Structure 1
Amino acid sequence: MNLKTRFQNIIDNQYGLPTGLLGRFIGEKMIRQHQPETLWTIQNLNLQQNERVLEVGCGAGFALKQISSMNGGHHVIGLDLSETLIQSAALRNKKAIRQHRIKLVHGSVDEMPFYDDQFSAVYSIHSVYFWKDLFSSFEEIHRVLKPGGRVIITLCNGKEGDEWTSVKQMIHRELIPVMESLNFSEVRVLAGPVSRGYQTVAVIGIK
């Protein structure tokens, strides 16, 4: 394996589970890269007043900060598998954490440490690619959502006009069927913004 390939493998692994100083850098880079689709996802949550919201794969905490800064009295919990990014999110949101508007939890989507029917909305941005088991993950999301709660899963499915066949197949042959098998209703794909040439979509559903 040459040096270039080895370095690329390190970077790819960091996107899946950021660690250390390089992981902190990757976390901040992802905030800059994903800002358009992050703001779009938050807008499509259609939050009302005093909602309890969960972000799966909260990264360095940019989206959490946006929601906690709204005038809706929302309580937001961020879940992430990376302890490095949990630390970054804590620094970014220290005031909101002190005020108990944000809570950060280290953990995995397929085994979440939350009680049933806890959240009115669950969202995830560019995290689903790394979930090991879609069924277990969505089973957990369904469990922690309140009846009538909604889920938004944001991801990219193409670049510069070219559709990514593998992602499209994952959405329509795996993700949507899994959600429907768990009795999510109104499951559909919503077209989102183009960000850095990447086409954004979201898969949404209601418990």
Structure 2
Amino acid sequence: MESITRRLLTNCFGRPSGPLGRLGGVLMALGNAATERHAVALAAPAEQDVVLVIGPGPGVGLAAAAERSAHVVGIEPSEAMRAMARRRCAPLIARGRLRLSPGTAARTGQPDASVDVVISVNNLQLWPDVPAALAELHRVLRPGGRLLITAHEKLLPTHLPALAAMVHAAGFGSVRTWTWQPPTRMAPTAALVSAVRV
């Protein structure tokens, strides 16, 4: 029973695929929308910034980022989510403000020091190797580049102070953590980490 439940959750939210993946995408778009937009506002990308969005899912935060920046890349391992994001963001893609690529936090496929801002919303708990992913995000960020990660507090793989220590160990400075309660009943408390690439 546990393996069936785990498989259902994976197909819905972990690596969304098929009808369950599409359902998961709809639920993510509804439940995460406030946090997605809040994360983009906190990261505050400028028009000329190159923004890397890790695991954008159905594309709510991706669209918010591409409304601020003309150079947004969404890295998403799920084809089902890339399809949903492409539909949601079609006008922004047509204007050349964003592109979607397969990949993960640990394997973005982006060049060294090519990104100004990295945003990740509610997928940290799915990273198989958090230190490897943080090392990759450090690699792609330019010196002075900004990292903003948020995840459901109850799903964090570790406590916020331990996560902050991992971020610092990956070479980031100005590491800050806090929690935020989205203004919707459906969304749980978000844990946030911000840092700067030293």
Once the two structures are TM-superposed, the CA of residue 129 in structure 1 deviates from its matched residue by 0.1
Q: Distance in 2 between matches of 1:31 and 1:47?
A: 21
Q: Unaligned 5+ residue runs, structure 2?
A: none
Aligned to 1:133: 129
Distance verdict in 2 for CA 1:83–1:152, change over 3 Å = same
In angstroms, what is the RMSD of aligned CA positions? 1.9
8 Å CA contact 1:74, 1:101 repeated in 2: yes
8 Å CA contact 2:117, 2:141 repeated in 1: yes
Distance verdict in 2 for CA 1:146–1:129, change over 3 Å = same
Once the two structures are TM-superposed, the CA of residue 109 in structure 1 deviates from its matched residue by 1.4
8 Å CA contact 2:70, 2:96 repeated in 1: no
Number of residue pairs aligned between Structure 1 and Structure 2? 194
Once the two structures are TM-superposed, the CA of residue 191 in structure 1 deviates from its matched residue by 2.4
Aligned to 2:92, which of 72, 96, 102? 96
Q: Distance in 1 between matches of 2:94 and 2:103?
A: 21
Aligned to 2:38: 40
Q: Deviations over 1:116-166 (max 9, x none)?
A: 1111100100000000101110000000001101101101224xxxxx8xx
195-204 or 182-191: bigger deviation: 195-204
Q: Distance in 2 between matches of 1:34 and 1:142?
A: 25
Aligned to 1:25, which of 18, 23, 26? 23
Letter in 1 for 2:116: S
Q: Unaligned 5+ residue runs, structure 1?
A: 159-163
8 Å CA contact 1:55, 1:122 repeated in 2: yes
TM-score normalised to the size of structure 2? 0.90
Aligned to 2:188: 198
Identical aligned residues as a percent = 24
Q: Deviations over 1:62-114 (max 9, x none)?
A: 111122223xx431110011111111111111222122111000112112211
Aligned to 1:185: 173
Structure 1 stretches of at least 4 aligned residues deviating more than 4 Å after TM superposition: none
Letter in 2 for 1:204: S
8 Å CA contact 1:50, 1:74 repeated in 2: yes
TM-score normalised to the size of structure 1? 0.86
8 Å CA contact 1:18, 1:85 repeated in 2: yes
Distance verdict in 2 for CA 1:169–1:64, change over 3 Å = closer
